[in-house]
Chain A
């Protein structure tokens, strides 16, 4: 009986010893390269494994581009869940890089805590923002609604039934940015339009392709022939339904046309690479502790059809140059400020 507390105590000592050793190693590992190469260092933390997630892949490209631009080293930490997110944020602050970048609302709390504890560490949060503002947290958010509006305009010009629809992951103000402006854009170019939006919901709103497909089918049953797809990993299901030939679809985040040739008209892309590069540059030049928003004017949001390489994009919009010209004009009006797009998330 007397041996067990003693054994426990020795175990604890061992664990503490190992812990000290480990942190000691960590500290030396981060300091040494800094001593050798006095360049800058940047860390990117992702909320999910990067894998083929196109949005996160663009983020990695962004941090790498920033590393090259600023002449520094970069590191990517991938998270799986809230626990690994917190662990990664802690690990990143221990390494004391020049800027820690993270993508997604999952970091709101973790960054708020880390920013308070490490007042001299600079943080950049992309695609979201902490609820309270901190002097060392710079937020970069997208004005997706501007791009969605343009996609809606394309849909309004291309629809034959004058019925436009959207399948979106969740019925929340943030996600209405992907539905409401689509209808408004269509109505802007075609007053006859009626607009219907459906939300995937369920137990797995961001990755339920079967449900997303059924909802796209429900829209076509109403006569809708152009559909905005903003169901994250459910989008392949929407494109699958489009292969039935009853409607064409729009994708988000990156160019999704090659994944389903012949059914995707265009995409509203969020250029996380541009945003991360610009924001890091801004922070290093002293523009920190504020919220920067990236829309059409800043090239943070764009349509595949309006980018230079549309001919090789495998998007259907490449076949409608007259539509591209019209949408290009609308884009110009938004960039110059003559046309204002309502933000559903700000309502």
Chain B
């Protein structure tokens, strides 16, 4: 089966919402807040993006509305888990359930429909042309026709990577997550950094939702995130909350999904194609832990290896 441009373009589209949400999840993880409400936040982002675009007539204002609404929604997690010290998992589960019900309810009250809202007049993000690049064969086919948020997601990966490894705020954020007491003793406000991380994850999930509802498609349907937020949670773990790691994990999911559709066309049963992303996750988790174990085991083993023969001899 040929790996054609359309396959890679499809993988890119599948990867972008997951990547944006997972970056938010990674920031929270680094700040010591386990954020499993990515799915719900993304769904709120989808709905508010469509609402914003519909009432303003501009997809970009839709993106802004999505970012604002989802950041506001993430306050629930910030206030609950950081200020009130509630369990982030319980809060996350509640937020995911709330998002499904809330968006379905608002779909009925705002648009007067149930199930799905789509209209030929609804403005989507559309494709952005890259001058010079669109004419390059193959590359142009993959990158052309992608929404601007796709490129933004790559920029976000780079910014997050530099921020976490170079910038003072990023380093403090990591300190807050790893040793909150030590951070506090140095005068770093744990609360402030955790709030910032959770709100940033809200912003990123808003972008993820906007990409899914106005970029990948141009419509809203109930529960349209369909588990993509959960895949993002897994991508955070698989990428060990490092921006580049998260990118690679999300890329893996995107490619597996796009490839699954193609393999179905070649006769692979749909049920097997469905299981593929989860199977790949399991394999990747096994391989990465096995490698880490091997490395950890080999490091002290080297130190012990030298005295061992001596003691024998």
A interface residues with partner B (beta carbon < 8 Å): 48-53, 170-171, 196, 198-204, 207-211, 213-215, 217-222, 233, 236-237, 240, 259-261
Q: Contact partner of A51 among B115, B212, B219, B227, CB < 8 A?
A: B115
**Are B6 and A52 touching (Cβ within 8 A)?**
no
Task: Indicate if B217 sits at the interface (CB-CB under 8 A).
Answer: yes
Known contacts A204-B223, A208-B226; A236 and B265 CB within 8 A of each other: no
28 CB-based A-B contacts, threshold 8 Å: A51-B114, A51-B115, A52-B114, A52-B116, A53-B115, A204-B223, A204-B227, A207-B116, A207-B223, A210-B212, A210-B216, A210-B217, A210-B226, A214-B216, A217-B9, A218-B7, A218-B261, A218-B262, A218-B265, A219-B265, A221-B7, A222-B265, A236-B217, A236-B221, A259-B118, A259-B120, A260-B118, A260-B120
Cα–Cα distance between A22 and B13 once the two chains are bound (Å): 54
Determine whether the beta carbon of B108 is less than 8 Å from that of A51: yes
Cβ of B222 < 8 Å from any Cβ of A? Answer: yes
With known contacts A204-B227, A237-B217, A260-B120, A214–B270 Cβ distance under 8 A: no
How far is A222 from B264 in the complex, measured between Cα atoms in Å? 12
How many whole Å from A258's CB to the nearest CB in chain B? 9
A214 touches B261 (CB 8 A): yes
With the chains together, A154 CA to B222 CA distance in Å? Answer: 32
Hey, what's the 0/1 contact readout for B210-224 against A, CB within 8 Å counting as 1?
001000111101111
Kindly list chain B residues whose C-beta atoms are within 8 Å of the C-beta of A50: 114
Q: Are B261 and A233 in contact (CB under 8 A)?
A: no
- Residues A207 and B224 in contact, CB atoms below 8 Å apart: yes
Q: Does B113 contact A (CB under 8 A)?
A: yes
Evaluate contact between B115 and A213: CB separation under 8 angstroms: no
From B9, which residue of chain A is reached at the shortest CB distance?
A: A217
Q: What is the CB-to-nearest-CB distance from B275 to chain A, in angstroms, rounded to a whole number?
A: 9
Q: Give the B interface residue count (CB, 8 A).
A: 36
- Asked if A218 and B10 sit within 8 Å, CB to CB, the answer is yes
> Considering the chains assembled together, what is the distance between the CA atoms of A233 and B108 in angstroms?
16
A217: chain B residues at CB < 8 Å are 6, 9-10
Knowing A52-B115, A209-B116, A214-B258 are in contact, say whether A240-B217 is a contact too (CB < 8 A). yes
Q: Which residue of B lies closest to A244 (CB)?
A: B145
- Whether B115 and A209, one on each chain, are in contact in the complex, defined by CB atoms closer than 8 angstroms, is no
| Residues of chain B with a CB closer than 8 A to A222's CB | 265
Which of A171, A200, A209 has the most chain B CB within a 10 Å cutoff?
A: A209
On whether the beta carbons of A208 and B224 are closer than 8 Å, the reply is yes
Q: Which residues of A contact B118 (CB under 8 A)?
A: 236, 240, 259-260
Contacting pair A207 B226 (CB below 8 A): yes
Query: Given the complex of chains A and B, what is the CA–CA distance between A48 and B222 in angstroms?
Result: 13
Specify which chain B residues have a CB less than 8 angstroms from the CB of A170 in the assembled complex.
270
Residues of A close to B116: CB separation below 8 A: 52, 207, 209, 233, 236
Residue of A nearest to B17 (CB): A210
Q: Indicate if B129 sits at the interface (CB-CB under 8 A).
A: no
**Minimal beta-carbon separation of A183 from chain B (angstroms):** 13
Which chain A positions have C-beta within 8 A of B9? 217
Contact A203 B115 (CB under 8 A): no
Q: Assuming the A-B contacts A196-B265, A207-B221, A219-B265, are A201 and B273 also in contact, with contact meaning beta carbons closer than 8 angstroms in the complex?
A: yes
B270 touches A210 (CB 8 A): no
**In B270-306, which residues have CB < 8 Å from any A CB?**
270-271, 273-274
Chain B residue at minimal CB-CB distance from A212:
B217
Q: Given A207-B115, A207-B226, A240–B218 Cβ distance below 8 Å?
A: yes
* Closest chain A residue, CB of each to CB of B211: A210
Q: Which of the residues B6, B115, B226 comes within 8 Å of A204, measured between beta carbons?
A: B226
Task: Find residues 160-177 in chain B having any chain A CB closer than 8 Å to their own CB.
Answer: none
The CA of A205 and the CA of B108, in the complex, are separated in Å by: 22
Q: How far is the CB of B252 from chain A (nearest CB, A)?
A: 16
Chain B residues whose C-beta falls within 8 Å of the C-beta of A200 in the assembled complex: 270
| A221 CA / B6 CA spacing, docked (Å) | 6
What 8 additional pairs, Cβ within 8 angstroms, besides A200-B270, A260-B120? A171-B270, A201-B270, A203-B226, A210-B226, A215-B261, A218-B6, A221-B7, A222-B265
Chain A contacts for B271, CB-based, 8 A: 171, 201
From known contacts A199-B264, A236-B219, infer whether A218 and B258 are also in contact, taking CB-CB under 8 Å: yes
Contact A209 B264 (CB under 8 A): no
The answer to whether B13 and A49 touch across the interface, beta carbons within 8 angstroms, is: no
Cα distance, A233 to B114, chains bound together (Å): 11
Contacts A202-B274, A214-B258, A218-B261: A209 and B217 contacting too (C-beta < 8 A)?
A: yes
